[in-house]
Amino acid sequence: MKTTVLKSGRIVDPSQNIDIIGDLFIQDGRIIGIDLPAQQADETIDCTDKIVLPGLIDTHGHVYRYVSGRFGLDPDTCGVYSGVTTLIDQGGASCITMPGFEHYIAKPSKTRVVSYVSAYLVGGLEGHYYPELYRPDCCNVDATVKAIESYPHLIKGVKAHAEIGGYERWGSAVMAIAAEIGQRAQRPVYIHLGQLWPSPSVASVPTEPDDIFKSIVSLVKPDDILAHPFSRHPGGFISQTGALHPLVKEILATGVKVDVGYGSHFNFEIAQRVLDTGIIPDTLGADMHGYNTHHKAHPPGTPAIHPDEGDHLFASAVPFSLVSAMNSMMALGLAFDHVIKMATSNAAVMAGMSDEIGTLKNGAIADITVLSDERGKWVLRDNDHNEVTANRMLAPVFCLRAGSRFDAAPELVPQAKAA
């Protein structure tokens, strides 16, 4: 038996309301307790001035590498080597490609990877650059429900889109299909908000951005998730009037959750407007992919230039990660305790795995993240050049995944500019 002690760290576990300085004990890949009586340790890791957390959970990843073109990243790049022990891939795999996702992504990855299966037969090819692949005829309710039933350990929800580019082509038909999949399979539906596809030259279904919420109010159920509340693109939480869309709070009152889905959509000014209305997101997904990070893969056979290449809706000039997104949330005024919940215990609930991950309870798998915690002044910037000042900066040091250590890779940690 191997015993490891994470010594003298600030142990924070929202699932147990723990926030103490202490020693965390791990034995053979499982947590055995805090501040246990003196015993021989095979390994002692000094965590003085560090924060010791349940393994971070990224609720919005794109990691179907090689299958989803430049979009899909290596799971461990944005996983364990970024201080994240569990990733939820959002819509990369479909009912057709789920066997490959399990065999080539979930099983060999050091990071735990689960899926919110795409509502579309093609999954997330090239990040949905080609809208016609995502029309209603390219969905199959029965096949997707069957896939969910066949992979309950892997498929934790359904990914769908409620955005103006699709609505102008097909109305709310695809969203209705996704809702039916979620209802029949009893899985939450993760709903992308904010424009994704360019508008067609002639709209088959004339749609205004503020019409989107009117269509989904009757389609959502408790524990479904609205994504990208802080999006800079039209069709999100902030209406065309510049105020919070009047239906947002009505929908959230039904038990629907909110995930930040940071990504290239994020805008500090929009975020502040939403937060000022009292809406606090439940979870925090990074939404890293090959078009908004510096880790771009370009497999042979993917197009060199897309129809709307250039300043497209996927682009991002600002590097980020899950931990840097946590820093942004704190800079906006969210409490440290809540930000930790967003990336641990709340995220575990969204994954349907709160009995397994997002906790440091005795007997739990030793998925643990250790962060540095510095004070100072840094300038954080979004893609629209809005800036905020942060006075606290978290950064991944290492994580344990089932007790195995992975040091954070310095080249993957975004560097904030000192104020």
Q: 365: which strand partners?
A: 30
pLDDT at res. 51: 98
For residue 332, count CB atoms less than 10 angstroms from its CB and return exposed for 0-12, middle for 13-18, buried for 19 or more: middle
Residue ranges in 194-241 assigned as alpha helix (H): 211-216
| Distance from C-alpha of 118 to C-alpha of 89, rounded to nearest angstrom | 10
44-91 pLDDT tens trace? 999 999 999 999 999 999 999 988 877 889 999 999 999 999 999 999
Give the model confidence (pLDDT) of 163-211 as tens digits.
Answer: 999 999 999 999 999 999 999 999 999 999 999 888 899 999 999 999 9
pLDDT (0 to 100) of residue 319:
77
Here the tokens at position 378 are 């840094």
What domains are there in the chain, each with its CATH number? 3-54+358-418 (2.30.40.10), 56-350 (3.20.20.140)
Q: What is this structure's pTM?
A: 0.96
Write the DSSP string, 317-369: SS---HHHHHHHHHHTT--HHHHHHHHTHHHHHHTT-TTTSS---TTSB--EE
| CA gap 315, 291 in Å, rounded | 6
Strands (E), 119-154: none
With pLDDT > 90 as the criterion, what percentage of the chain qualifies? 81
- Helical axes 141-150 vs 173-185, angle rounded to 10°: 30
d(CA 294, CA 213): 34
Contact yes or no for 193/216 (Cβ under 8 A): no
Confidence of residue 296 (pLDDT cuts 50, 70, 90): low
The per-residue pLDDT for 78 is: 92
Residue whose C-alpha is closest to residue 283's, from 109, 74, 117, 86: 86
Number of Cβ within 10 Å of residue 337's Cβ equals 12
- CA-to-CA distance for 259 and 341, rounded, in angstroms? 12
pLDDT digits (tens, 9 = 90+) for 337-361: 999 999 999 999 999 999 999 999 9
315 pLDDT tier (thresholds 50, 70, 90): low
| Element containing residue 170 per DSSP (H, E) | helix 164-170
CB 180 within 8 A of CB 224: no
Choose among 174, 98, 97: nearest CA to 134. 174
Is residue 301 predicted with pLDDT exceeding 70? no
- Asked whether the predicted pLDDT for residue 308 surpasses 90, the reply is no
pLDDT of residue 211: 94
DSSP letters spanning 95-155: TTTHHHHIIIIITT-SSEEEEEEESSTT-SGGGT--GGGGSGGG--HHHHHHHHHH-TTTE
Looking at residue 128, its pLDDT comes to 66
DSSP state for residue 268 in the 8-state scheme: H
Distance CA 80, CA 399 (A): 7
pLDDT of residue 127: 64
Q: Are 329 and 266 in contact (CB under 8 A)?
A: no
Q: Which of 280-284, 298-302, 373-377 has the lowest mean pLDDT?
A: 298-302
Residue type for position 129 = Y
Over residues 375-404, the pLDDT tens digits come to 999 999 998 889 999 999 999 999 999 999
SS3 label, residue 92: coil
Place of tokens 């509340």: 229
**Does position 310 have pLDDT exceeding 70, yes or no?**
no
Reported confidence tier of residue 416, pLDDT bands at 50, 70, 90:
confident
DSSP bridge partners of 238: 244
Q: How confident is the model at residue 270 (pLDDT cuts 50, 70, 90)?
A: very high
Q: Is the dihedral of CA 362, 367, 373, 379 positive or negative?
A: negative
pLDDT at 360: 98
CA-based torsion, 347, 350, 354, 357: positive or negative: negative
Mean pLDDT value across the chain: 92
